[in-house]
Amino acid sequence: MENLHHIVVVGGGAGGLELVTRLGNKLGKKHKARISLVDAGLTHIWKPLLHEVAAGSLDASTNEINYRAHARKHHFEFQLGRLSDLDRRNKAIVIAPFLDEEGREVVPERRIQYDTLVIAIGSTANDFGTPGAQEHCLFLDSLKQARRFHNLMLNAFLRTNHESLQGHSHQLNISIIGAGATGVELAAELRLASRELPVYGMNHLQASDVSITVIEAAERILPALPERLSIAATRELERQNVVVLTGQPVSEIRKDSLLMKDGTELPSEMTIWAAGIKAPPFLAKLDGLEANRTNQLVVQQTLQTTLDANIFAFGDCAACPQPNSDHSVPPRAQAAHQQADALFKTLRNRLQGKEPVPFVYNDHGSLINFSRYTTVGNLMGNLSGRSMYIEGKVARLFYVSLYRMHQVALHGFLRTGVIWLMDKISRAMHPRLKLH
């Protein structure tokens, strides 16, 4: 075991867990390599689902994957901890001490030797240094943050319901800064929650008591997607009584309000930051590896870091060039899925002394889900390269299939089918919203 080539993957997000699962099944199981996953958490959940967890339309506990159990089933090792340093000369990573909630050390600092290192630690929200953002905004970068948001939301709705019961009607103002896919979809989920909660005892809470505003600094929402999709999304948000403000940069976040660049002050009891992403800051200082201004590790088209051929990076934490383009691969789930597939082939080739596989991103389109209301999107034709606009049930089917494809990559077709059936049963037996 000690003489086997050791592949260490840091980060069990969508791409990282898919990669380590395939490596375990194909290389670890046959003792062709030793595979290890390092992550700071005990469980995995698909990050595009976090806004549903936050709004209560998805119960995270039924969609989490335990890393230890998954590792045992798929022939890799799991190490709990957070990457804190890198020693390229001795080909080792340093894992920070693991502390419990009381601050007591559970596991001391460790060093893990590697032959090949893969960094896939994802991204965090980029607040661009906006005053008050860290102090007064809620973020949705992790399951812990999503659960905290959910509890705060339930309490805010309960407070509003009680005030209305006492005859002191007060509007709850919720602001979402950033109208990318997460911000737009979160707005729809929150509107659904404001309409569903009265069914479960908050009889004095009206949807009109909850004001939801989406704020985008660009001239239109979903600025990275085709304009037709942006127009359709704007129309759908307005139909759901969500206020859409575009061309409106926020200059400061205060405790109960937002100050806009033009001097306007908007009331906001709950403010969510969903504008922009960046890689974790420590990557910019990781033993001399090249990083860009948003802390992403700069990689070649093979996903190898520019200064060390034994270290790979992919997903949101990597800036990967593309042929005939001035732009890097976009930070999207489908990109991480495709990169995991290419990197699996590269690492398998690496053990056989073969050349790495250059990564080429194929944009399959974009889908925006408005909770149970509707779904809109565009699909890219593989042959024509043209975009086809879709909406309604067809778009919803494609949207759901994205998550099912992720599950298939982790569990296989048969088990994913069982999981799908259990999801259907669970939805039939439990409330439509998570109420605790």
Mean pLDDT of 85-89: 96
Contact 116, 312 (CB under 8 A): yes
> What integer best gives the mean pLDDT of the chain?
91
- What is the four-CA torsion angle of 89, 124, 294, 128, rounded to 10 degrees? -140
pLDDT, mean of residues 319-328: 87
Band of residue 187 on the pLDDT scale cut at 50, 70, 90: very high
Strand partners, 77: 36
Residue 301 — very low, low, confident or very high, per pLDDT cuts 50/70/90? very high
Listed by start position, the domains of the chain span 6-123+279-351, 133-276, 365-429
Mean pLDDT of 22-30: 97
Instruction: Give the position of tokens 């070649």.
Output: 300
**Residue keyed to tokens 């007591």:** 104
Span 154-172, average pLDDT: 85
Dihedral angle computed from the Cα positions of residues 412, 416, 418 and 419, in that order, rounded to the nearest 10 degrees: 140
The answer on pLDDT for 379 being more than 90 is: no
Mean pLDDT of 343-364: 95
Asked whether the predicted pLDDT for residue 168 surpasses 50, the reply is: yes
Q: What is the largest CA-CA distance in the chain?
A: 75
Residue 247: pLDDT above 80?
yes
d(CA 348, CA 359): 15
Q: What is the pTM of this model?
A: 0.91
Residue-wise pLDDT tens digits, 207-241? 888 999 999 999 999 998 889 999 999 999 999 99
Spatial CB neighbours of 153, under 8 Å, sequence gap ≥ 6: 54, 55, 56, 190, 193, 270
Q: Is the pLDDT of residue 383 over 50?
A: no
How high is the pLDDT of residue 384?
A: 44
Return the closest-CA partner of residue 300 out of 277, 272, 279, 329: 329
Residue range 48-64, pLDDT digits in tens = 999 999 998 888 888 89
pLDDT number for residue 109 = 93
Q: Pick from 370, 350, 346, 375: which is nearest to 359 by CA?
A: 346
Homologous superfamily (CATH) of 6-123+279-351 is FAD/NAD(P)-binding domain (3.50.50.60)
Query: pLDDT digits over 198-207, tens only?
Result: 877 787 888 8
Quick check: 393 pLDDT over 60? Answer: yes
- Determine the average pLDDT of the residues in 86-108: 92
Residues in CB range of 335: below 8 A, 6 or more apart? 315, 329, 361
pLDDT of 2 over the 70 cut: no
Tens-digit pLDDT profile for residues 268-288: 999 999 998 999 999 999 999
Domain 133-276 fold is FAD/NAD(P)-binding domain (3.50.50)
Give the integer Cα–Cα distance in Å for 8 and 397: 36
DSSP annotation of 396 reads H
The pair of structure tokens assigned to 305 is 């870091």
pLDDT of residue 382 exceeding 70, the answer is no
Q: Are 303 and 310 in contact (CB under 8 A)?
A: no
Domains 6-123+279-351 and 133-276 in one fold:
yes
At 385, is the pLDDT very low, low, confident or very high (cuts 50, 70, 90)? Answer: low
Structural tokens at position 190: 């929150």
